[in-house]
Amino acid sequence: MSDAPTPEALSRAEAEFVAAEGQAQGLEELLEVRSRFFGPKGRITQLARGVRELDPADRRQAGQNVNRLKRELETRLDHRIRALEEEARQAELRKDPLDLTLPGRPPTYRGGLHPTTRAIEEMIEIFGHMGFDIATGPEVETDWYNFEALNFPPDHPARDMQDTFFVAPRQPNTRLVLRTHTSPVQVRTMLAEGAPCRIISPGRVFRCDSDATHSPSFFQIEGLWVDEGISMAHLKGVLQSFINAMFGERPARFRPSFFPFVEPGVEVDMQCVFCDGAGCRVCKRTGWLEILGAGMVHPAVLESAQIDPEKYTGFAFGLGADRVAMLAYQVDDLGHFFRSDLRVLEQFR
């Protein structure tokens, strides 16, 4: 049964509250008073509940009276509680003053560029000095740009050279892949700019491939120079200048190779920087590490890109940017570049 909220009962409750509040000394005692009067079974709470049991005609007035009293008393009590809490906080702050003149702690880790990013920036600069502009293309590519325009006909066995990740297309009849190389940017650039053109295109590529020197996602830099009279001699000159600028006078070798989009094609190896050519785990005991594929742009590719192969010739190359970073910074496992281990990455700051 709740207490009936008669005017007399309210006055009595108020008098009791004033006495209790007057006697309460510290924060703890005030909180106890709050619970005794306003808690779930508190004196004022019971009076408020009693309103429901009155005659309907009396409820409105009684409800207003209880609420007014509750508001008044609670405000008064909260005021004192807040003042005491603030006092306690100030006392705590005085006990342990802040010394604003202390110097800050230096950060433990300082960020830095990833070694592959640094190598790519360096390569952009080197090729920039040789007059190459930067071009870009999408990472999700159509089969046409990634393969067909590059002279890989459908079902041609050369497609198996690049273990492709396929992407489910949104529209029927479009075949999409994660680009397996940056060579599609050659076609995009020639179609957009025509001849002459001289670009490099750094970017991420994807292959279903993984070991000490192969990763499923890695970076390449494509190079393309199309103009009248461009020959294999220009290709060798540009690549040798790049190697000299990037690695000093390290030996490189040009081996004949096959890529459907160039004729003739070559692969370029650098002398292994870990064993100076003696043979080790990284170079699979050959003394050489392959860093790029290159060749003279195939006439069929020039035609796909609407460039007259009778008038223009060109060369193209595709560098493994992570491979170059491995050689430049002497990292013997490509996985170090992808594991985000701060102990490794900190060494390249």
The site for ligand FA5 (CB under 6 A) is made up of 162, 181, 183, 207, 209, 214-215, 218, 220, 259, 262, 265, 290-295, 316-318, 320, 322-323
- 63 or 309, CB closer to ligand FA5? 309
Question: Closest distance between ligand FA5 and the C-beta of residue 334, in Å?
Answer: 6
- 42 or 299, CB closer to ligand FA5? 299
- 44 or 292, CB closer to ligand FA5? 292
Question: Closest distance between ligand FA5 and the C-beta of residue 181, in Å?
Answer: 3
Question: Closest distance between ligand FA5 and the C-beta of residue 311, in Å?
Answer: 21
Quote the Cα angle for 91-92-98, to 5°: 110
Question: Closest distance between ligand FA5 and the C-beta of residue 229, in Å?
Answer: 19
Beta bridge partners of 295: 265, 316
- 339 or 349, CB closer to ligand FA5? 339
> Among all residues, whose Cβ is closest to ligand FA5?
320
Question: Closest distance between ligand FA5 and the C-beta of residue 171, in Å?
Answer: 26
- 77 or 302, CB closer to ligand FA5? 302
Q: By C-alpha distance, which of 205, 216, 237, 208 is closest to 321?
A: 205
CA distances from 117 to 57, 218, 233 (A): 82, 11, 30
- 5 or 223, CB closer to ligand FA5? 223
Distance of CA 20 to the CA centre of its chain: 62
Backbone angles phi, psi at 130, to 5 degrees: -95, 10
Token pair, residue 47, equals 């009076």
Amino acid identity for residue 133 in this structure: D
b/e sequence 73-106, b meaning 16+ C-beta within 10 Å: beeebeeebeebeeeeeeeeeeeeeeeeeeeeee
Question: Closest distance between ligand FA5 and the C-beta of residue 253, in Å?
Answer: 13
The string of DSSP letters for 27-69 reads HHHHHHHHHHHHSTT-HHHHHHHHGGGS-HHHHHHHHHHHHHH
